[in-house]
Structure formats: C-alpha cells, structure tokens
Structure 1
C-alpha cells in the first residue's frame, strides 16, 4: 500500500477496524495489533493497522506458560525494516486493502525457517505489491511448531486452514469472492503454503465456529523457493529440526512432506526457485512439481539460474529473477484468480 494511500486511508481504516472488531475472528472483543516498527519507516512503507485474530477463545493447545511475542529488527538500512517475530501466542492476519478491490485475496505466509516469521521482506512488501494491483492481502502471523503447542508439527497448518476459512467467512466485508482466495508462501512459509494446498481437508483442530464449516482449500497456491521435503539430503535441515525435532521417524517425514501428500483435488500451483539457492535446494521445488504432475494438477514452474535464497522482492532487483511477480500475475489471470 503506497504512502499517499496510507495517509489518506488512516481515518477510513480506523473506522473499519472499529466496525469489524466485534464481528471478525468469531466475535473477538478486540484484535491484536501488529508489532510496531522500531523506528520511523520511509514514506510508502507504513505498517498495517488492521488485523484479524484467528482464534476467538485463544489458540488451541496452548503451552504453559504462553510464549512471549518477541520482535527483532535485523535491518541495517535505516529506510527499510526486516523484522523477525517469534513467540506468537495470538496468531493473526494483518490486512492490506486495495483502493479498488478486484475480488481476489491472497494469504501470505512468510518464511523464517520455523524459528520466526519474517514479516517485512516476505510479508508486508509483497502485500503492498498485491494491494497496489487490486488484491486484498492477508499476512499470516502463524504459530511456530517448536514452542510447545499441542498440535506440534501441525500447528502452522492449523493456523493456515483457519485463516483461509476466516477470509472466506468474512468475504463480504472485504468485497471478495469466497472462491478466489489464494495462498502464497516463501521458504518455510512456502512449506506452510504447500502443506495447506496438500492437506487442506486434514482435520488438525477442532471446529470453533461457523467459519470452520467452510473449505480451507486455496483457489491456487504459490510456494516460492519452498521447503518441501523433510527427508535428507533434500530437506532444509533447520526447518526440519524446528518442525519435527532432532530425530524424526520416516513416518513423520512422510506426513509433513507436501510432495508425498498431494491429493487428487489439489489446487493449481505456481512454483519458483533459483538454482543457486544455497539454503533450500532446488530439488524441493522439483520434487513438488513431479508430484503435482503425477497427479495431473496444473503447475507452472519457473527456475532461475541466479537469485540465491530469500530474494522476495527487494533482493531480486536488478536480476532476471525480478520478473517473477509479473509472471505470477500473468499466471493468476490464466487460472481465473483475477
């Protein structure tokens, strides 16, 4: 969302928040705000102010004591933010509304190796890009599986399923078509995205309200430089350890590798990876592509020779891989998201 829009829309959004707070997230009395920036951000990069809590009575299976939400600012550029958030006890979505909604929504799951959630470069920046093009974007602050939640490795999936259902449940408030709610994720957030696209019908939490009667199947999925396999040597070792523990069984690896769980009704996929990725091997994307193709699922795949890992938008500038958002947008038009 641009700076001019941020300045014009503060009053409008404040009113919207007040009106929606009682109705969203199953009747929660108030929504949990996003973390504040540690310093003033450059014009055009204002933080979102509207949020939706996922769980009206608190997230299920909470540990005792609850994790304490912690924000670390990692940016060295004074004009940019690069926050990592962990200890997320109140999972929620931050909302980026376009001036002219096109009726489509995108749920964004940032990466962070399941150690934290990187909200700026793989969340807010993409959300602003999408909102500028008419999409309503929702950045998901999902719970981390290593912080004691009862659902364990299924904890991020539970939040992603619930988020899709809530967006659909409140589609009218956002001028959305409930059939056009897509998912996009980066790195470990790409695993959340791919896991959602594979196991959207898997029961990983007890229903809490009417929203949970809706489907969690995304219209389409875009796992970007994603963690996919939980089997070594293809697995990203850090994400695997944080998700499954130090010594997962073969059964655990299989249950949490999206390429091994693709259903016949999986949504269309857009896949993206740089072949010089030194963190998450490109084999992860190739494994998912092969599994989708074997199931007859529509899949668009883009591999770039250079780009490294975690390029998002800001680190792709000046490289051929910078074309990827427009490639995604063109693909989205071909599958009816736009």
Structure 2
C-alpha cells in the first residue's frame, strides 16, 4: 500500500467565495503495482468525513479508507475546508479532488469511469452535492473544466444530511454552508432531495431509524427523489444505532453506543455494491 498527501488547488475568487482559512488536502491510498499482479484498473472512492461542516472526523476518514482499500478499491480522503463560508466552497474542493483523481488515473491504476464519492453526515451532504452538481456551471466554471472531468459515477451516503427543511435538517450543518446572510434562496439550493435529476449517479445509502442528530427522514426523502427519477439505488435502514457510527465496529467505536454489529453490515454491503457498479 502506498500513501501520499496532495494539496487541492481551487480558484475561489472565480466562484466569488473567500479563500480565507481554506486549505483542502487529499490523502491518497493506493495499491503497490507489482509485476506479479499487474494492472487492475481499480475502482476509486473519495471519502468526505462528517463533522457538521465544522471539522473532519478522523473516525470517518482513514479507517474507512483502509476498509475499502483492503477490498481492492483505491481510496482517497478529502479533508475539505471546515470554516464557515458560503456555498459552494466545499463542493468546489470536492470537484477539484474528483478531477485530480481522474487526471491521475494511470498513476493510481484506477478506472477513470468508476470514481465514487462517499460521505458521512455533513460529508454525506457534500457527497450528495457532488453527485447532483457535477454538471453544473456553479462548479465547472470556477474550476475551468468540463462536466466530464468532475463527473462522479456513484455515491455512498452514510446517515447523510440531505434536507434543509428546518424541521428535519441538521441546522448547524446548513448554517455553516449558507453563511451568515441566511439566504432563503441559498437554503433552498442546498436541499439535496430537491436537486436529484436524471443525471444523478447510482447511490448506496444507509441510516439508523433512531438517529437523533440527523433524522432518518433525510435518507427517506432522498430515496423518494431517486425513485422519482429512476436512479438505481440500494438502501439500508437499521433499527437502531444512532448517529456517527462510521464502521460501527471496534475499528472506529469510541464508546459502547458506536459498536453496532448489525449496522456494521453496511461496509460489506457497500463494497459489494461498488464491485457490481
């Protein structure tokens, strides 16, 4: 296994957002190329940890990357800029990360048409944003690229923040990306169940029914939108487990409540889904 960390370059000025405090980096985990195994053109997954757009959880970063890498999927962890700023700052950073991975497909021995975004909680919102905005000028124009350069071929969403509906959203996450002006138009724009279209890629999504932080309605509404547009998806709603489980096992558990053997099935199911994608 090889690892390297690269800085992600974004021209924030072109997007009309501030670059203050922005320093995104991408940790790249990929398999050592050997003559015995040869090139495989692996699938790739870009992981966006959660943290309410305030910070990036380490529990939802490298441990998750190792789990996918062990299954033959090249893994990348995006540590996006967690400072209060206006949308689409983080989405631009995620788009630039997708472009970097695609541009370096030969180096990492990956299939450039099999790049998946994965996110947890607020990182799930970021992954869903990338899945729904990859062909939007809101991203392509500032990044100076074509939609195909930042197209994602699938998304994996774990207990994601999806809606901006005040009754069901995680308000802290939404306020962190719409900024202090609290624009109603911007709030509407970042409600991901309303951004699904025929261009949204296949999706794997999971949640716990008793999540008291990000309510399960976020996932249920997103599923309804995917169904409306006939987007293939696989979903798993677990009876209990709460929020922030990451891998749900001893690998990432910080206390007893984060160890849920039943919900831990999500990782195996997601890996199988990626292989079938």
Give the TM-score normalised by structure 2: 0.86
Distance in structure 2 (CA, Å) of the matches to 1:244 and 1:204: 15
Asked whether the 8 Å contact 2:99–2:149 carries over to 1, the reply is yes
TM-superposed CA distance for 1:246, in Å, is: 5.5
Asked whether the 8 Å contact 2:193–2:225 carries over to 1, the reply is yes
Deviations 1:252-282 (A, max 9, x none): 2221011101121210000100011111000
Distance in structure 2 (CA, Å) of the matches to 1:93 and 1:204: 22
Deviations 1:92-150 (A, max 9, x none): 200111346651110000011011111x2111110111111111111001123514xxx
In the alignment, what sits opposite 2:36? none
Asked whether the 8 Å contact 1:144–1:155 carries over to 2, the reply is no
Residue 114, structure 1, aligned to residue 48, structure 2 = no
In the alignment, what sits opposite 1:53? 7
In the alignment, what sits opposite 1:24? none
SS in 2 for 1:105: strand
Residue 282, structure 1, aligned to residue 236, structure 2 = no
Map 1:256-335 → 2, pairs under 5 A: 256-313=190-247, 314-315=252-253, 317-335=259-277
Asked whether the 8 Å contact 2:95–2:134 carries over to 1, the reply is yes
Map 1:143-154 → 2, pairs under 5 A: 143-144=81-82, 146-147=84-85, 152-154=86-88
Give the TM-score normalised by structure 1: 0.71
Distance in structure 1 (CA, Å) of the matches to 2:166 and 2:147: 37
Alpha carbons of structure 1 residues 225 and 269: separation in structure 2 relative to 1, 3 Å: same
TM-superposed CA distance for 1:249, in Å, is: 3.9
SS in 1 for 2:118: strand
Distance in structure 1 (CA, Å) of the matches to 2:152 and 2:143: 20
Relative contact order higher in (CA < 8 Å, ≥ 6 apart):
2
Deviations 1:278-335 (A, max 9, x none): 1100000001000010011011110001111000012354421011100111222222
Deviations 1:179-228 (A, max 9, x none): 0111100000000001111111112354556x657432211101110000
TM-superposed CA distance for 1:250, in Å, is: 3.5
What residue ranges of structure 1 are gaps of 5+ in the alignment?
Answer: 6-12, 14-47, 68-88
In the alignment, what sits opposite 1:227? 161
Map 1:74-93 → 2, pairs under 5 A: 89-93=22-26
Alpha carbons of structure 1 residues 113 and 289: separation in structure 2 relative to 1, 3 Å: same
Deviations 1:17-47 (A, max 9, x none): xxxxxxxxxxxxxxxxxxxxxxxxxxxxxxx
Map 1:1-338 → 2, pairs under 5 A: 13=2, 48=3, 50-55=4-9, 59-61=11-13, 63=18, 66-67=20-21, 89-99=22-32, 103-118=42-57, 120-144=58-82, 146-147=84-85, 152-205=86-139, 206=141, 214-245=148-179, 248-313=182-247, 314-315=252-253, 317-335=259-277
Matched positions, count: 259
